[in-house]
Amino acid sequence: MKRIDEMGGVRRLLLTHQDDVADHEKFHQRFGCERVLHRDDVRARTSAIEMQPSGLDPIDIDDQLVMIPTPGHTKGHAVYLYRNKFLFTGDHLAWDETGDRLYAFRNACWYSWGEQIESMRRLLHYRFEWVLPGHGRPMRLTADRMHEELERCVAWMARRT
């Protein structure tokens, strides 16, 4: 945490879903950061989180950051789009290096595969160049290519219902 201190600390901690919230309290105590987690994923250990948006509509966290609810992996999963360029995807979406494509984790979908497909379809309304997943490596493509890959991913998902 010393290195984070040296870089200026943490203003906001963006939590994508309930099973990846380790140390959120430590970060809050150390940096006084605001934490964000969709209300549908709040549990006893996250009940004190400052910002708990609900529903399926996108939420403007500030003028450069949008929380996009993406139920599927969990009921309250959300992704975060920063500057219409960087998509922090948690466990919703990643790059599959083996298949050289965007990928959703069918075997790690704890809530609803059908809702995850619908959530993925809603992402088609956004443009971004980067996918920054909770698992796997970051991937950068042109916005047009990323959109094509997302369409391909949605079609792949629909065939696995």
Q: CA 39 to CA 66: how far, in whole Å? A: 16
Q: Where are the domains of the chain?
A: 2-158
CATH topology of domain 2-158: Metallo-beta-lactamase; Chain A (3.60.15)
Q: What's the rounded mean pLDDT across residues 37-60? A: 97
When the pLDDT of each residue in the chain is averaged and rounded to a whole number, the result is 96
Q: What's the rounded mean pLDDT across residues 55-84? A: 98
- Written as six digits, the tokens of 155 are 């079609």
Is residue 62 within 8 Å of residue 40, measured between CB atoms? no
Q: What's the rounded mean pLDDT across residues 60-81? A: 98
Task: Please report the pLDDT score of residue 20 as a whole number.
Answer: 85
- For 62, residues 6+ apart whose C-beta sits below 8 A from its C-beta are none
Q: What's the rounded mean pLDDT across residues 94-106? A: 94
Single pTM value for the model? 0.96
Within 10 angstroms of residue 107's Cβ, the number of other Cβ atoms is 4
Per-residue 3-state assignment (H helix, E strand, C coil) for 60-120: EEECCEEEEECCCCCCCCEEEEECCCEEEEECCCEEECCCCEEECCHHHCCCCHHHHHHHH
Q: At residue 130, does pLDDT exceed 90?
A: yes
